[in-house]
Amino acid sequence: MRITIKNSEASVLSILGNMGVALSAPCGGRHVCGKCKVNLIEGQVLGDTDNAGNFLACQGIPLTDITVELPDELIIQNEVEASAAFSSAVRSGVALDIGTTTLSARLIDLDTGATLATRSELNDQRVFGADVVSRISAARNGKTADLFGLIKRQTQRILSSFRVTELEQLTVSGNTTMLHLFTNTDPSSMGELPFTPVFLVERNIAGVELSLPVREVKLLPSIGAFMGSDIVAGLASLDILHGDNNALFIDIGTNGEMALFHDRKLYCCSTAAGPAFEGAEISCGIGSVPGAINKITWSGEESRLSFTTIGDSPPLGVCGCGLIDAIAIMLSTGVIDETGAMDTERFTISNGISLINRDVRQFQLAKGAILSGIKILCKNAGVELSEVSVVFIAGGLGFFIDQRNAVRVGLLPREFLDRIKVCGNLSLKGAVQYLTEPGFLTAAKAIINKSILLDLAADPAFMDEFAENMLFVS
């Protein structure tokens, strides 16, 4: 994709974002990750350019009018998948899950509850960083309106793509930061103690107030600053309050949110896992998009590594599930030891796709935070790991996760083997139920009323657990 840009004092990354073209910039434009690289076709830029004309969009400033080539993997969007039963004449609404990495939407027939079409796109706000902390930091630097503009335009585009004359309702689920930015609300107060959101309750907003082509917008309520309505939606969708005692819910993404149902209470916490499982902060990392390596296997007899990609597309990088498999193989073959130190400069998966020692360290930070959160959560609830009856894994990671590799690398406790149920995108499922089931909001509020939110940062045992769980233990 080629784009012409006028000369400006702003970076190419910023200019493209204002044009509605959102490149992946996991570090938030801090010149660290190196993933916003574009190719200069014509013109001059201020910034380092290699012999092939490649430069980082976050660094490059156009000194003249320029033409740049954008790599396809940086602007991937999925097309609408429509049902054969789709008709623009039906009463329709849309359920939307706003994730830090991905937006997913479903067009629903309000009379039958049938899915008419679906759409999924990478979140355009990723130009400001891969995680909520980066987005909050950008807001604190006066970028709330820019962040709102990106999500507003993207939502407009998604709704328009369904080609429906009139949409009655849009129900929205997402983490608390995403909901703030979706409503043009400054989330800066969540970036410093005591991490106070502007709102947590459900909200009903006329579509015109958000410049959206829908009659009414309804946001699901949240539990806390880092336990958003996406988690509430997932827990309510599972009807966890009426399920097995000691059931554990885990959503592994840029944060590791989890909730344990024990004796009619929900013990909840969020761990700052970082965006490694979403492909960010990993040199060859990529989100769960076509071309992402999602499954890696090793044949010891043949000393041969093989892999699959999402959509069977040519490999572009490694997503979270593939990263777990790769680390497990590196452990089994002795490429890394229990401390995470590598005995080679890089571990090659495919041409141009390999892991380096820094990637292993980023993975250790992420998996250490998740496992520590699980252990502290169970400890506070008075539940042994062996007493956990079922483990629900939500989010995109769950679709392809190899349970045994997740245990091998220390992401999940060994006691959880054969108790794991992969659930997919429960946040979107909950948003659909909010759209179609009158009693769903009541169920969501019951989840919140039963929740006990734990502050891991204030628990002195957490850092001890974290230091121990950084290691790989056989």
Residues 387/246, Cβ–Cβ less than 8 Å: yes
Question: pTM of the entire structure?
Answer: 0.86
What CATH number does residue 142 fall under?
A: 3.30.420.480
Query: Does the residue 225 lie in any domain?
Result: no
- pLDDT at 78 exceeding the cut of 70: no
CA distance linking residue 364 with residue 370, whole number of Å: 10
| Total count of domains within the chain | 3
* Residues 247 and 363 both lie in one domain: yes
| Host domain of residue 115 | 81-219
* Final residue before a domain boundary, out of 219, 243, 275: 219
Residues 402/326, Cβ–Cβ less than 8 Å: no
Going by pLDDT thresholds of 50, 70 and 90, the confidence category of residue 310 is confident
Q: What are phi and psi of 421, to 5 degrees?
A: -120, 120
Going by pLDDT thresholds of 50, 70 and 90, the confidence category of residue 22 is low
Query: Does the residue 228 lie in any domain?
Result: no
* Residues 349 and 474 both lie in one domain: yes
* Residues 68 and 95 both lie in one domain: no
* Residues 267 and 388 both lie in one domain: yes
* Residues 301 and 433 both lie in one domain: yes
Query: Does the residue 29 lie in any domain?
Result: yes
CA distance linking residue 414 with residue 407, whole number of Å: 6
* Final residue before a domain boundary, out of 74, 91, 121: 74
Question: In the numeric block, which tokens belong to residue 474?
Answer: 């056989």
* Residues 87 and 69 both lie in one domain: no
- pLDDT at 321 exceeding the cut of 80: yes
Query: Does the residue 440 lie in any domain?
Result: yes
Closest CA to 171 of 221, 101, 244, 130: 221
Query: Does the residue 418 lie in any domain?
Result: yes
Q: pLDDT by residue (tens digit) across 366-399?
A: 999 999 999 999 999 999 999 999 999 997 676 6
* Residues 9 and 148 both lie in one domain: no
Task: State the DSSP string of 182-202.
Answer: HTT---GGGGSTT---S--S-
* Residues 206 and 281 both lie in one domain: no
Residues 407/474, Cβ–Cβ less than 8 Å: no
Task: State the DSSP string of 346-365.
Answer: EEEEETTEEEEHHHHHHHHH
Structure confidence at residue 255 (pLDDT):
80
* Final residue before a domain boundary, out of 74, 98, 131: 74
* Residues 202 and 316 both lie in one domain: no
Q: Is 36 exposed, middle or buried (0-12, 13-18, 19+ CB in 10 A)?
A: buried
* Residues 353 and 444 both lie in one domain: yes
- pLDDT at 79 exceeding the cut of 80: no
Structure confidence at residue 72 (pLDDT):
60
Query: Does the residue 340 lie in any domain?
Result: yes
* Residues 381 and 252 both lie in one domain: yes
- pLDDT at 25 exceeding the cut of 80: no
Query: Does the residue 295 lie in any domain?
Result: yes
- pLDDT at 77 exceeding the cut of 50: no
- pLDDT at 300 exceeding the cut of 60: yes
- pLDDT at 75 exceeding the cut of 60: no
Structure confidence at residue 424 (pLDDT):
85
Closest CA to 61 of 50, 73, 47, 72: 47
Question: In the numeric block, which tokens belong to residue 184?
Answer: 């043009």
* Residues 29 and 146 both lie in one domain: no
- Spell out where 220-366 has E strands: 247-252, 256-262, 265-271, 292-299, 304-309, 317-318, 346-350, 353-356
Question: In the numeric block, which tokens belong to residue 391?
Answer: 């483990």
What CATH number does residue 69 fall under?
A: 3.10.20.30
Residues 109/35, Cβ–Cβ less than 8 Å: no
Report which listed range, 129-143, 196-210, 295-309, is most confident.
Answer: 196-210
- pLDDT at 84 exceeding the cut of 50: no
Query: Does the residue 224 lie in any domain?
Result: no
Residues 31/45, Cβ–Cβ less than 8 Å: no
- pLDDT at 156 exceeding the cut of 80: yes
Q: pLDDT by residue (tens digit) across 403-457?
A: 899 999 999 999 999 899 988 899 999 999 999 999 999 999 999 999 999 999 8
